[in-house]
Amino acid sequence: MFLGHLEKKTKFKIYLVLILFIACFGAVWEKLYHIQIKQHEWLLNLSNKQYYRTFYSTAQRGAIYDRAGRDLALSVETDSVYANPLAIENSAHTAKSLSSTLDINWAKLNKELNREKGFVWIKRKITPDEAEAVDSLNIKGVGLLKEGRRFYPKRELAARMIGFVGTDNKGLYGVEYFYDDYLRGKSGRIMVERDALGRGVNFAEDYRKSGEAGYDIKLTIDEVIQYITEKELAAQVTKHRAKGGTAIVMDPSTGEILAMADQPQFNPNSFALYKEGNWRNNAVTHSFEPGSVFKIILTAAAIEEKIAGQNDTFFCENGEIEIGGTVIHEAEEHKYKWLTVKEIIGKSSNIGAIKIAQKLGAKRFHDYISKFGIGIKTGIDIPGESAGQVRDITKWSGTSLASISFGQEISVTPIQLITAVSAVANGGILMRPHIVKAIEDEGIAVKEFKPEVVRRVVSEKTCRELTDILEYTVKYGTGKKAIMEGYSVAGKTGTAQKADQDIKGYSKDKFVSTFIGYVPSRNPKLAILVIIDEPEGMAWGGEVAAPVFKEIARQTLRYLKVPSEKNGMEHQDTRAPENKTGALVTGALVHYLYEA
């Protein structure tokens, strides 16, 4: 009995040990499975972080083309110098050789070469001559790696709009910055092995991965129209010794920007040599008091609300009117009595504009200012856009309605102004302006940007009547120097006094001269804005800015092969076929083709 009982206890112990063994084995197996299978990738990456250090080389950045496929920004393959300090035998001698060859500081370089690392950058994106010189030194531990370097073949052309990139290949300004995620691509990866103390040893060849090139950008800009615009703007700024200038050419029916120019210019290939102010794209970032060109918005509102037609007359007070204790005079001391709306705009009568605004009323005027997009960002695809400034109607003073009627006490950006006037040109539709036509991958569009309607602002009937008024302004009023042979022009001049903080008022000798218009006026292909900032001497917009409008329009219409109206030919889109070759159009060639 006792032995039998003992056997049962022994069996129980054996079974218990067996169960415990199985349980322990299962726990160990589950832990091994969790570590080796489930956490394999995570632990491998953790291990790699301990044994490898990662560096990145810049990828091939996507190109930027004009609307016809002509090169505006390219990435060219270039060499960058690196070193493995642990493989260098004489750091001081090496630093001396490289510092003289690459024109870099010896002390700083020597410090880098004495670091316990397996990889350091010496100088990135060097010239071919520098690369050849480094290669000829044949220094152990020093080598060359290929990277992409940004190059702007047309130099200053459209530089403020295109922008530039930094050494790390990231966009810093303009289109380069706004579309950086598309253009940049994926950087190449270089991994360096570390020893047990964390010191770099050498390249891990299996861990070197090349980058992926970025997408290309096709702009709405036309290189030739851009050149014409920049050339004519620069000539007038120089002639009148002006502080600067801005010009925009837009297709009023689509909102596409065909040219966007600023003076003075800069070369993005060496942007660091210029002050930051030279980089700024004033067409979208700068706001200014528009002066009399703002009467276009006032007149559109008055006609749309049926409070005044082009032949309705207003008494212009013999050139002087008192508003809220302030006496307002006509420019050049004109003493107008009765003028029609057409004459008020044609002669640019400030008192006439005040009378129209008083009849329209502050509330309705403010509403139309907003409808035309003034005081609101247009949403153009360029960074740094300003909204301008339109005070809330509750903050208008007793003189605000009068002042705003002729473009004071309000600030607009050039892009807002040309977008608003383009709405008049196209029959009353406010379009969203845009600078990019498509994003492409090896010539195939991956994303296209179609014309975008914001809203209807005024009726077609209002636009036709306002066009009559603006044609009169060019033919018989202040805009005579914008008259073109063979084409009807609708436009308005502006000469705005600049605010002077020192005297808490308006300057007596600093002006902004402006002309804005569209052509051919009855079937517009182009809307053009010209601004000359602080011209010396003669400052009237009709004398300073209108001739620039005329020359840009004349040469561009010829380039686009838009038929002359005097020949009785029906207008149609006759733009030249897109040039797929991307051939370089030099300044001399454009001058020969389109100025002859």
Q: Are residues 212 and 230 in the same domain?
A: no
State the pLDDT at residue 583. Answer: 36
Q: Are residues 425 and 494 in the same domain?
A: yes
Angle at 309 between CA 308 and CA 311, to 5 degrees: 120
Q: Are residues 169 and 130 in the same domain?
A: yes
Give me 206's structure tokens: 């299996």
CB 128 within 8 A of CB 84: no
Which of helix, strand or coil describes residue 73? strand
CB 141 within 8 A of CB 84: yes
Range of the domain at 437: 223-266+285-595
State the pLDDT at residue 365. Answer: 97
CB 64 within 8 A of CB 72: yes
Out of 219, 236, 254, a domain closes at 219
From the list 509, 530, 540, the residue with the least C-alpha distance to 244 is 530
Q: Are residues 316 and 365 in the same domain?
A: yes
Which phi and psi angles does 196 have, rounded to 5°? -65, -25
Which of helix, strand or coil describes residue 256? strand
Q: Are residues 469 and 407 in the same domain?
A: yes
* Beta-strand runs (E) in 405-560: 429-431, 436-441, 444-448, 453-456, 490-500, 505-519, 526-533
pLDDT in tens, 493-511: 999 888 877 676 788 888 9
Q: With respect to residue 97, please indicate whether it lies within any of the assigned structural domains.
A: no
Q: Are residues 170 and 303 in the same domain?
A: no
pLDDT per residue rounded down to tens, the chain (596 residues) = 444 555 666 767 777 777 777 777 766 776 666 666 656 666 555 555 555 555 555 667 899 999 999 999 998 777 888 887 777 778 788 778 787 888 888 778 777 777 766 677 778 778 888 888 888 878 787 878 777 778 899 999 999 999 988 877 788 989 999 999 999 877 656 555 555 444 444 544 444 445 577 899 999 999 999 999 999 999 999 999 999 999 999 999 999 999 999 999 889 988 878 887 778 899 999 999 999 999 999 999 999 999 999 999 999 999 889 998 888 888 777 889 999 999 999 999 999 999 999 999 999 999 999 999 999 999 999 999 999 999 999 999 999 999 999 999 999 999 999 999 999 999 999 999 999 999 998 888 999 999 999 999 999 999 999 999 999 999 999 999 999 999 999 999 999 888 877 676 788 888 999 999 999 999 999 999 999 999 998 889 999 999 999 999 999 999 999 999 876 443 333 333 333 333 334 443 333 333 33
pLDDT in tens, 28-63: 776 666 666 656 666 555 555 555 555 555 667 899
Other CB atoms within a 10 A radius of the CB of residue 217 amount to 24
Q: With respect to residue 313, please indicate whether it lies within any of the assigned structural domains.
A: yes
Q: Are residues 141 and 251 in the same domain?
A: no
CA distance linking residue 566 with residue 554, whole number of Å:
14
State the pLDDT at residue 32. Answer: 65
Q: With respect to residue 467, please indicate whether it lies within any of the assigned structural domains.
A: yes
Give me 418's structure tokens: 């040309």
DSSP string, 403-438: HHHTT-S-BB-HHHHHHHHHHHHTTSEEEPPBSEEE
Q: List Cα–Cα distances, 392 to 362, 367, 369, 410, 455, in angstroms.
A: 11, 11, 11, 11, 22
CATH number of the domain residue 135 falls in: 3.90.1310.10
**In one letter, which amino acid is 178?**
F
Torsion angle defined by CA atoms of residues 307, 310, 313 and 314, in that order, rounded to the nearest 10 degrees: 60
Cis peptide before 520 (omega within 30 of 0): yes
Out of 183, 201, 219, a domain closes at 219
Q: With respect to residue 291, please indicate whether it lies within any of the assigned structural domains.
A: yes
Give me 200's structure tokens: 């770099």
User: Model pTM?
Assistant: 0.79
CA distance linking residue 351 with residue 330, whole number of Å:
7
CA distance linking residue 129 with residue 133, whole number of Å:
6
Other CB atoms within a 10 A radius of the CB of residue 592 amount to 10
Q: Are residues 184 and 259 in the same domain?
A: no
How would you class 475 by CB atoms within 10 Å of its CB: exposed for 0-12, middle for 13-18, buried for 19 or more? middle
- 80: which strand partners? 145
Q: With respect to residue 373, please indicate whether it lies within any of the assigned structural domains.
A: yes
CA distance linking residue 268 with residue 328, whole number of Å:
46
- The count of C-alpha atoms lying within 13 angstroms of the C-alpha of 416, restricted to the half-sphere facing its C-beta, is 30
From the list 555, 569, 359, 371, the residue with the least C-alpha distance to 455 is 371
CA distance linking residue 332 with residue 497, whole number of Å:
13
CA distance linking residue 590 with residue 596, whole number of Å:
9
Q: Are residues 373 and 451 in the same domain?
A: yes
Q: With respect to residue 253, please indicate whether it lies within any of the assigned structural domains.
A: yes
Look up tokens 């902004």; give the residue.
512
Q: Are residues 407 and 327 in the same domain?
A: yes
Q: Are residues 412 and 516 in the same domain?
A: yes
Sheet with 52-57: strands ordered across: 52-57, 188-194, 200-203
Q: With respect to residue 21, please indicate whether it lies within any of the assigned structural domains.
A: no
**In one letter, which amino acid is 26?**
G
Other CB atoms within a 10 A radius of the CB of residue 488 amount to 19
| Distance between start and end Cα atoms, the chain | 129
Q: Are residues 188 and 257 in the same domain?
A: no
Q: How many domains are contained in the chain?
A: 2
State the pLDDT at residue 48. Answer: 54
203-215 burial code (b ≥16 CB/10 A, e <16): bbeeeeeebebbb
DSSP string, 367-388: HHHHHTTTTS----SSTT----
Which phi and psi angles does 157 have, rounded to 5°? -60, 120
CATH number of the domain residue 394 falls in: 3.40.710.10
Helix, strand, coil fractions of the chain, as percent rounded to 5: 40, 25, 35
Q: With respect to residue 296, please indicate whether it lies within any of the assigned structural domains.
A: yes
CB 437 within 8 A of CB 448: yes
